[in-house]
A and B are shown apart, each in its own frame.
Chain A
Amino acid sequence: DQQVKQNSPSLSVQEGRISILNCDYTNSMFDYFLWYKKYPAEGPTFLISISSIKDKNEDGRFTVFLNKSAKHLSLHIVPSQPGDSAVYFCAANRDTSGTYKYIFGTGTRLKVLA
């Protein structure tokens, strides 16, 4: 029973265009969301996060949007670069639980074409 879902296993985008990665969740108790990026043979690295009190957070080329009513978040990368090619994981947490236990999705493999 997956609480965090990434329904697109892969995505290809031309360099310079926008990449949009999507994530849905089912648990309305989640109040903190994160995106992680993973290169082969490396561990996941933190990219950007958003608290449920916000609907948007921006950091350079990366923006995360949260739609609480739809239980949906998305990661926008603009402009996309070949170095962005990686697997992106969406994760969620009950920030108030104090356990720091992250629930991850299955990942979306992004390929940015030069």
Chain B
Amino acid sequence: EAGVTQFPSHSVIEKGQTVTLRCDPISGHDNLYWYRRVMGKEIKFLLHFVKESKQDESGMPNNRFLAERTGGTYSTLKVQPAELEDSGVYFCASSREDGTGYTFGSGTRLTVV
């Protein structure tokens, strides 16, 4: 089965611009998660979708971040406007309904300059 796919793999944007990250989960996985790792720090949970619904968005840093999962398939994470502290690697993961098959994508490295 194909893994979790994330686009783009790298993105460099200027402060104040908008960036949209995309995640395609493994087919059939109802659960989709976003995480972020700022350099040298922990991989931090951002939010969890069950199908198209936000189950837990307790880790979202602020209202500059907007995650969507229309139709319960792929998800997007938009940062608008981007700030310097948003730089890091954004990981997406997906799992089956019961939490099994939890798989991470390769991540999107975001650099805000």
The residues of A with any CB-CB pair to B shorter than 8 Å are 2, 4, 9, 36, 41-46, 89, 91, 98-107
Write out the residue numbers on chain B whose beta carbons fall within 8 Å of the beta carbon of A44.
43, 91, 104
Which applies to chain B's interface (DSSP): helix, strand, loop or mixed? Answer: strand
Max count, chain B CB within 10 A of own CB: residue among A4, A45, A99, A103: A99
Chain A at the B interface: mostly helix, strand, loop or mixed?
loop
Known: A100-B31, A103-B42. 11 other contacts (CB 8 A): A2-B42, A41-B9, A46-B102, A89-B42, A98-B99, A99-B48, A100-B48, A103-B45, A104-B42, A104-B44, A106-B42
Q: How far is the CA of A89 from the CA of B55 in the complex (A)?
A: 24
CB-CB < 8 A to A9: which residues of B?
A: 40
Residues of B96-110 whose CB lies within 8 A of A: 99, 102-107
Expressed in whole angstroms, the minimum distance between the Cβ of B84 and any Cβ of chain A is 21
Does B95 reach chain A (CB closer than 8 Å)? yes
B74 CB–A CB distance under 8 Å: no
Q: List 9 A-B contacts (CB under 8 A).
A: A9-B40, A43-B107, A44-B104, A89-B43, A99-B48, A99-B55, A104-B35, A104-B42, A106-B41
